[in-house]
Amino acid sequence: MALTDPDRLFPVDARQRHLARALYESVKDLPIISPHGHCDPRWFAENQRFPNPAELFVIPDHYVFRMLVSQGVALEDLGVPRADGGATEADPRVIWRRFAERYHLFRGTPSALWLDHSFEHVFGLDVVLSAETADHCYDFIDAKLGAPEFRPRALFERFGIEALATTEGALDDLSWHRAIRESGWGGRVITTYRPDAVVDPEFEGFAENVAALGEITGEDAATWEGYLNAHRSRRAYFREFGATATDHGHPSARTENLPAADAAALFAKALAGACTAEEADAFRGQMLTEMARMSLEDGMVMQIHPGARRNHSSTVFARHGRDKGFDIPGRTDYVAALKPMLDAVGMEPDLTVILFTLDETAYGRELAPLTGAYPALRLGPPWWFFDSYEGIRKFREATTETCGFYNTAGFNDDTRAFCSIPARHDVARRSDCAFLAGLVGTGRLREAEAFDVAQDLTYRLAKQAYRL
């Protein structure tokens, strides 16, 4: 049986569905632009087989394992590594069965759509995953993974990816990216400059990280000027490996624009480990404005991903570390927070700052009015928990009337689950086509315009916004 409905996510009204399908047909085969995500460049450098279904679909994917945890399964029992190196479930088949037995938990979630799409369209499975079919599905997928056409580079090509950006920390030597480049393989896998560890005074080992930054770049990173120059140097290094963008994941969207002497003093305090929480926050805010200024110099696009309260459970963080499904969004203000940066550089037409949010209330109230006015701003797609059919629908309904389509930045998959990339882009394409069909059906857009906009949302806007 088919795991996915060929008309999924289209409107139910027959005429609307017909138009949505036609719009989708016109964009479904366009290349994938993936300008922001967390795939491991090592996959494409080494091109080894993915080890097994559990390590591909369950163990690394916090979307998947947190749902199992929420219903009482221990992280250890799903093979998620412990911080102390203690024992966890080692048998991938056992982990897979625990997942399969609880597959009904994902009913109605995008994870179910993505997983079914991968099972069916990437691997060719035709049975629904369940306790009964767990072993069959495991064996079926595992066998495929051994075939050459399921190696990372082959999948990259099969998926029709035109460009894939990964994300690396400022201190990363980008050796896997170097290896990809030196391999002669033609796939466009580029990096993104993510300096959180050398920008956030509360990051573990901040002072050591900054020292390392100085060493790598040959700058005197203990001084404010040297520190900024070290960033310039690393940004240039990242650009050698294709980077067109930087990325900033802060607890809030706060920006500052302090006089240089004050910024330098704050930096010294941060290096000395003497910042209060408020000062650390101010320093992060200052660095967003510094990064925006550097973007004006070097042309890199700046992404701001604020609002996640990281590692909410102290228990889980102590036992398993970061990125374990316990990052919880909170209210996020943009209007006051961004003003210092926008007063500094917001009217620059040559700058592109892409804003993301985990607080949907900001879409219509703050982000659409801001991006619908400042030339330096673009609005990023629905992110994380909102990368879904309802998330995309609410995003379009809340923002289009104020900032239009052309202040948005296309789609991001933002994933570390490589096999979900086609599924995620497919959901976005379908959801956008459904939305466009609704506009045409209610006389808010002409049909010919809808076909044009569908191309923009699927392909052009992401390429333009990310300068790819």
Touching a copy of itself, residues 71-90 (CB under 8 A) = 71-72
- Contacts (CB under 8 A) with a copy of itself, residues 266-305: none
Residue from 46, 120, 279, 449 binding a copy of itself (CB under 8 A): 449
Q: Which two tokens stand for residue 431?
A: 């959801």
- Contacts (CB under 8 A) with a copy of itself, residues 196-225: none
DSSP-derived 3-state class of residue 132: coil
CA 428 to chain centre: 14
Neighbours of 33 (CB within 10 A): 25
| Contact characters 335-354, a copy of itself, x per CB under 8 A | xx--x--xx--xx-x-----
To a copy of itself, the closest distance from the beta carbon of 164 in angstroms equals 25
To a copy of itself, the closest distance from the beta carbon of 175 in angstroms equals 34
Question: Whose Cβ is closer to a copy of itself: residue 32's or residue 342's?
Answer: 342
Does 70 bind a copy of itself (CB under 8 A)? Our answer is: yes
- Contacts (CB under 8 A) with a copy of itself, residues 159-198: none
DSSP-derived 3-state class of residue 302: strand
Q: What is the C-alpha separation between 84 and 449, in angstroms, rounded?
A: 57
Angle between helices 277-298 and 335-345 (to 10 degrees): 40
What are the phi and psi torsion angles at 247 (to 5°)?
A: -140, 140
Q: What is the C-alpha separation between 88 and 2, in angstroms, rounded?
A: 35
- Contacts (CB under 8 A) with a copy of itself, residues 21-60: none
To a copy of itself, the closest distance from the beta carbon of 235 in angstroms equals 24
Residue from 39, 67, 189, 210 binding a copy of itself (CB under 8 A): 67
| Contact characters 117-146, a copy of itself, x per CB under 8 A | -----------x------------------
Q: Which two tokens stand for residue 152?
A: 């990372």
Question: Whose Cβ is closer to a copy of itself: residue 230's or residue 304's?
Answer: 304
Question: Whose Cβ is closer to a copy of itself: residue 219's or residue 456's?
Answer: 456
**Which strand ranges, in their side-by-side order, compose the sheet holding 161-165?**
32-34, 161-165, 189-190
Residue from 42, 406, 463, 464 binding a copy of itself (CB under 8 A): 406
Q: How much helix, strand and coil, in percent to the nearest 5, is found in the chain?
A: 55, 5, 40
Q: What is the C-alpha separation between 82 and 247, in angstroms, rounded?
A: 28
- Contacts (CB under 8 A) with a copy of itself, residues 385-404: 385-386, 388-391, 394, 397-398, 400-404
- Contacts (CB under 8 A) with a copy of itself, residues 350-379: 358-361, 364-366, 368-375, 377
Does 381 bind a copy of itself (CB under 8 A)? Our answer is: no
Q: Side-chain half-sphere of 266: how many Cα atoms within 13 Å?
A: 23
